[in-house]
Chains A and B, each alone.
Chain A
Amino acid sequence: MDNAQLMKGILEGCVLGIIAKGETYGYEILDALEKTGFEDIGEGTLYPIITRLDKGGYISCRKAKSPLGPIRKYYSITDEGIVALNDFKQRYSEITRLAQNILYD
């Protein structure tokens, strides 16, 4: 079975969870995902997620010069984002519990 479909639903919540830990930027988010075990997640996947979160008002964006010179976007979670993240955690927990009941019982 394809991982991509499974990931589609949870990646947005996971990215929001990473941003909730503190102000961060694109490369750092990819790094955090990779360290957690999410391999092969690139900017192509991340960009639309960030765009959706930004448009939804769940994250805010600040532009500043990176240490290497170019402008970098730094993301922070908003109050609406915190609410959305808590809601996601609850729904994820519930869905995982239901799935476990079917798959492992």
Chain B
Amino acid sequence: MDILTFDNELTGEYGNTMTIVMSYAQAKGYSDEAVNERLYDLYEMLLTAQEDGKPASKIVGKDLSAFCEQYFSDLTFKSRLLQIPQILFRGCLVAFVFELICILMASESVSEAFRIEVNIGAYLVGFGLGIGFMTVSAVFIAPLVTKNKKRADIANGILIVLWLVAIFATASLGISIMAKSWIVALVAAVYCVIYSVVKLVINYKTYGTVKNLSKKIKKDSYYRKQENKTYEKAILQGWQGRYKRLLKKGKTTEESFITVIEKDNKANKVFEVIMDIIFVILIISAGVSNGISGDKIWEVLLFIGILGVFEYFIYKLFIGTSKKMNGICEKLLRECKRSGLTLPQYIDKKLCEY
């Protein structure tokens, strides 16, 4: 579910309605696959009602709580239960990668690799707490969302904090359930493979495609444009604020402000390249220097490969949005230059369009 995409075109009661319905679905813990298509349908209908000047109640009725219950009524507890395999899949993927790295790092021989043990207590406790969190959210938070979203958000925030406290408290209790690392890695890998195959089959039978439906919808040019619009608006508002501050201090003029932003952009690009280089150097040096028998080059390369793949996803999480924003900044600056307006004039004009 992509709140960023839906936030743009729907305004007033239509936007509020969409936000509440999406928050309800999230609090209930429905998976993206189960609800995305119907949320996009609802979005399209609310947009049409907005365009027509008809009230949102034409689409969702007068009682939003009743609408939410009805709209998702076919997603029973059984279907929520089906989220557990997905959560287990993510946990197993992490467990597999960690254990593989541990085995490669800690063992100097094949026989030693089979003796290494790991405490799986933390995995089990984390999984159990996660299920508990999901249940509490679905039972107590979701009904609150349709009645008072602010209170629901506060309750959700408190729940997340309690969940984190519970995890740390449990870790400090030192629950110890030891198991052989290679068994944990093997079981995790087998589960991941089975889950992936089953998911492909289900996707194909349900949607006629093996591709991820959420990604398929997101690839649609309309929704990509909406997502970019959200970033554009945020960037332009940021520039507007910055211009006002710099103008007040006498540090820029209307004509020269674009130079300030262009310098920032260049600095950001350089920063991105440096981060990419640092990332690669760190991965290679971790692989080379990390306690693996140095004379077996294939072990080093395998370790670098696994670590690289794993760390890349985390790296992408942090740096991905920044790269996207930089790309949008460049596009806006190009448009501004083509328009012949000064940057402040261009910002004011563009913000009126949203």
Contact = CB atoms under 8 A, between A and B. Distances in A.
Interface string B52-82: 0000011111100011101101100000000
Contacts of A40: 61-62
Nearest to A68: B47
Contacts of B44: 26-27, 66, 68, 70-72
Contacts of A70: 40, 43-44, 47, 222-223
A71 B40 CA distance: 8
Interface in A26-81: 26-27, 30, 34, 40, 42-45, 47-48, 51, 65-66, 68-73
Chain B interface helix/strand/loop/mixed: helix
B122 interface: no
A42 B61 contact: yes
A45 B58 CA distance: 12
B316 interface: no
Given A30-B59, A71-B40, A44 B45 contact: no
A66 B48 contact: yes
A72 B232 CA distance: 26
B336 interface: no
B73 A27 contact: no
A43 B222 contact: no
Contacts of B220: 71
A48 B73 contact: yes
Interface residues of A, number: 20
Nearest to B49: A27
B71 A44 contact: yes
Contact of A42 (B41, B48, B58, B222): B58
A68 B57 CA distance: 20
B216 to A, nearest CB: 11
Nearest to A42: B61
A28 to B, nearest CB: 9
B45 A71 contact: no
Interface in B69-124: 70-71, 73-74
Contacts of B217: 71
A27 B68 CA distance: 18
20 contacts: A27-B44, A27-B48, A30-B45, A40-B61, A42-B57, A42-B58, A42-B60, A43-B41, A43-B59, A43-B60, A44-B61, A44-B66, A47-B41, A66-B47, A69-B9, A69-B225, A70-B222, A71-B217, A72-B44, A73-B41
By Cβ-Cβ distance, the 9 closest A-B pairs, closest first, are A44-B70, A42-B61, A44-B67, A70-B44, A44-B71, A69-B222, A27-B48, A43-B59, A27-B45
Interface of B: 9, 38, 40-45, 47-49, 51, 57-62, 66-68, 70-71, 73-74, 217, 220, 222-223, 225
